[in-house]
Structure 1
Amino acid sequence: MSSGAMYAAHFGLKQRPFTLLPDPDFLFWSPEHRRAYSVLEIGILSRAPITLVTGEIGSGKTTLLRQLMNRMEEDLSVGLISNFAGAREDLMRWVLNAFGLQVPEDHPDDVHRYQVFVDFLVQEYASGRRVILIIDEAQNLSVDALEELRMLTNVNSGQDEVFQLILVGQAELRDRILRPKLKQVAQRIAASFHLGPMRSEEMQDYVRHRLQSAGGSGDEFLDGAMVLIHKNTDGIPRLVNQLCDLSLMYAWTDDEEVVSAETVEAVLQDKVFFGAQLLGGAQKEQQA
């Protein structure tokens, strides 16, 4: 039995409540997450050419996307690109792959890739379906790649939006799109939202929610522990998960029934929570 499973049993939990994998079953609807999700839905329903959602690393963007894709209507054809890596010239390969499309081997160039994609859009439109391309971790896209994507939205004409684009990424994606060179991309963004960190009370509700979702009471962390966790994570969900997971493990090894401030302090002093060092480094950069 793994240490995670053993500490879960110690606290009467069915499973570890603070794993790092995006899991819609543990989705916590903070006010910020509700607004971000609403923007994604509004972008789809209003047929926005481009919808943009940005947020800090670990703020829960990918979990929101999983929830969105689970609720997509049947009249939508959805393609997902995660962690794009490559030059602008590689983009159409990724786009076609997202929809399971292939280019004849005797015509492997970008012109034919583009034509295959347009033919797919026309076919879906004729079948009464809209096509949505979602790009997660879109901060990896270069300026040229973003402009290439903007060109794909040119297939929309008249009153019908055949193709929609959803871009999700870190804060630098928003900054990049605001550059003068990408003015035309920015003009096509009809819905956007930046997902920030959780405030202290929201984070405490988040921790309780995940504990209860895993079969706990939600009171496994004392108030003093909660204060320390928010102070050392800035309310960023991924970092909160890491510190809470380690704190539960420490409490289990000490045979404690709850996580106290002293438990969290022990984790921090042992420097096993690497996120605190990353957060401290980022804060120093901002001050410089």
Structure 2
Amino acid sequence: MYLNYFGLTDNPFSIAPNPDYLYMSPRHKEALAHLTFGLRESGGFVMLTGEVGTGKTTVSRKLLQQLPDNTQVAMILNPTLSALELLATVCDELGIAYDADKASLKYFTDRILAKLADNHQAGVNTVLMIDEAQHLMPEVLEQLRLLTNLETNREKLLKVVLIGQPELQQLLKRNELRQLAQRITARYHLLPLTAPEVSSYVAHRLSVANGDISIFSPQALKAIHQITGGIPRVINLLCDRALTLSFTKQHAVVKKPIFLAAAEQILGDDVVSQRIQSQRKWMLGTAFVLALLVGFGIGRLYV
């Protein structure tokens, strides 16, 4: 709708996972480095956590691109499975033939372990990546740990990447999962973007679509961070709506009031109002502390 009006060649804020728009902030790069290091170590598990929409999928896709060619990856996107269903899914992902009539934990485990041994013999690394891992049941996680028991003198034959929301951290603190928690060789919690990173994120996506950061006013860019909290997925939703509103009103630049109106349409008046009030309280608190420090400094001059 607004592409021609703003001179854009594509929708810069689509929530579709288009690799052309991949923005690796310093935080995402650090997360990727942790996971890459963990997979190179001898342990069996690496873990990436973060709030919804912070870019965990972005990091995982980049990780997949950087894995060596001699790597076979099994990807599980829906982990709400029983232990038996999980093992069957792993078999499907790794191309392991099995007889469904013989289905049992031992049968599937034996088939998978044989595949891991064959891959190792052929010089192939095996990686199991599980998204939304906070939904895994404790008994399923324990079954995963048992799969990583197969090892050589130097390394585990199966590396497992767990990707999930912060609840995953709490799940792994359970006493019955302490053995698995001790096998995590690298973990990283992905935080939202900072204010400067939000501006860079918006500028990057606009530039890919042949646009320019000047489409958003400086005040609007500050509001983007304030209202979205630096969550990339929310930034995309609100910026897309703000561009649409600016187009309908025939404004050449997205200004702060337009962005706030877009935010109210997507998030609701109460949420936007609450976040604005929180920001004001933070600013007043900061000003109060600074005033105390200045007063203390001036007072010392007269002592």
Identify unmatched segments of 5+ residues in structure 2. 279-303
**Deviation of residue 179 (structure 1)?**
2.1
Query: Which among 5, 12, 31 is matched to residue 7 of structure 2?
Result: 12
Larger relative helix fraction? 2
- Counterpart code for 1:249: T
CA distance in 2, matches of 1:157, 1:279: 58
Which residue of structure 2 aligns with residue 103 of structure 1?
A: 98
- Structure with the greater alpha carbon radius of gyration: 2
CA distance in 1, matches of 2:139, 2:272: 31
Which residue of structure 2 aligns with residue 185 of structure 1?
A: 180
Deviation larger for 75-84 or 40-49: 40-49
CA spacing shift, 1:90–1:45, aligned 2, 3 Å:
same
Q: Spell out, residue by residue over 1:171-227, the C-alpha distance to the aligned partner (whole angstroms, 9 max, x if none).
A: 110111122221111100011100011111111111111111111122211111111
User: What do you get for the CA RMSD once the two structures are aligned?
Assistant: 2.2
Identical aligned residues as a percent: 33
Deviation larger for 224-233 or 63-72: 63-72
- Counterpart code for 1:155: L
Secondary structure of the residue aligned to 1:229 is helix
CA distance in 2, matches of 1:191, 1:147: 18
Which residue of structure 1 aligns with residue 266 of structure 2?
A: 272
CA distance in 2, matches of 1:122, 1:59: 36
Which residue of structure 1 aligns with residue 55 of structure 2?
A: 60
CA distance in 2, matches of 1:72, 1:167: 16
- Counterpart code for 2:266: V
**TM-score, normalized by length of structure 2?**
0.85
Which residue of structure 2 aligns with residue 171 of structure 1?
A: 166
**Deviation of residue 149 (structure 1)?**
0.8
CA distance in 2, matches of 1:279, 1:55: 25
Secondary structure of the residue aligned to 2:15 is coil
Which residue of structure 1 aligns with residue 226 of structure 2?
A: 231
- Asked if 1 retains the 8 angstrom alpha-carbon contact of 2:25 and 2:197, the reply is yes
CA distance in 1, matches of 2:181, 2:262: 44
Identify unmatched segments of 5+ residues in structure 1. 1-5
Q: Spell out, residue by residue over 1:64-88, the C-alpha distance to the aligned partner (whole angstroms, 9 max, x if none).
A: 1112212321111111111212223
**Deviation of residue 33 (structure 1)?**
0.5
CA distance in 1, matches of 2:237, 2:190: 19
CA spacing shift, 1:47–1:25, aligned 2, 3 Å:
farther
Q: Spell out, residue by residue over 1:83-116, the C-alpha distance to the aligned partner (whole angstroms, 9 max, x if none).
A: 2122233211121122232312442222211111
**TM-score, normalized by length of structure 1?**
0.90
Which residue of structure 2 aligns with residue 112 of structure 1?
A: 107
